[in-house]
Structure 1
Amino acid sequence: MTCGGCTILLVEDEFLIALDVQMRLQEAGYNVLDPVASVEEAMSVLDKTPVCVAILDMNIRGSTSLPIAQRLEAEGKPFIFLSGNDTYHLQEKYSDRSVLTKPID
C-alpha cells in the first residue's frame, strides 16, 4: 500500500534513528526514500527525485537543514523538523513548523 503515491524525503544523520523512522513510515504505507545524511545529499536527491514532503533533522553533520527547508519552501513542498534538542535555533521564519522530537516513541 502507498499513501497517494507520495514520496517522503528523510534527512537524518543518525543511522539507527533514520532506519527506525523509515521503517515506521513504510509500515504505515508511505513511500520513503532511503535516508540521506547531509545537506549535499538531500539537495542531490531533490534535483533527481520528486518528493511531496520531507522530514528534516535540524542538525546534520555539524550544519543545519535550513538550506533544505528554504529550497522546499521555495518549491511549495511541506516539511517538518526532527530534533533531539530544543528548537531555540530555528529561525523565526520557521518557528511555526512542526517538530518531531527524538527519541520517537
Structure 2
Amino acid sequence: MVNQMSGETVLVVEDEILIRFDIVDALTDAGFIVLEAGNVAEAVAILGATPDIRAVFTDVDMPGAENGLDLAQKVHASRPPVAVLVTSGHRRVTEADLPEDGRFLPKPYRPSQVIANLNEMVRAA
C-alpha cells in the first residue's frame, strides 16, 4: 500500500491522452490535487497561474519547440522548491539531464511508482 498525500497539487504533463488520464486518475485516487497539460507551453501557463503546485510529473517527448527536460529546467530555475519527476519510454535520461533533486522514472511505470516518488519528493522539499 502506498502512503497517500493529503491534497498536494501536482501538474501532470503528458501529450498521450490515455497515458495522462491513467496517471491523473491514479494520482487523484491517492489524494493529490491534479492539474493537466499536454505540452510545455500549457504547463508553463498553468505553473504561472497556480502558485500552490508542489510537483511536476512530465514526459520528455512532447509536441512543440520544448520538451519535458526543458520544462524540468524551467521549473527548477523559476520555482526551485517544486519537485520534478521526469519519465520517458524512448530516451535514456541521466542525472546530468535533470535539475538538482530531479528524478527519472522510465516507462512503462506502475502508478504506484509515480505516487511513491512524488510522496517522497514533496516531503523532502
TM bracket, shorter-chain basis: 0.7 to 0.9
- CA–CA distance in structure 2, aligned partners of residues 10 and 43 of structure 1: 12
Amino acid in structure 1 at the alignment position of 2:67: T
Match of 2:74 in 1: 71
Displaced runs of 4+ in structure 1, greater than 3 A? none
Amino acid in structure 2 at the alignment position of 1:39: V
Unaligned ranges ≥5, structure 2: 111-125
Match of 2:28 in 1: 26
Match of 1:85 in 2: 90
- CA–CA distance in structure 1, aligned partners of residues 104 and 59 of structure 2: 9
Unaligned ranges ≥5, structure 1: none
Of Structure 1 and Structure 2, the greater helix share is in 2
Aligned length: 102
SS at match of 1:52: strand
Aligned residues of 2:69 and 2:98 also touching (Cα < 8 A): no
Identity of aligned residues (%): 32
Q: What TM-score does the superposition give when structure 2 sets the normalisation length?
A: 0.70
Select the residue among 75, 82, 101 that pairs with 2:106.
Answer: 101
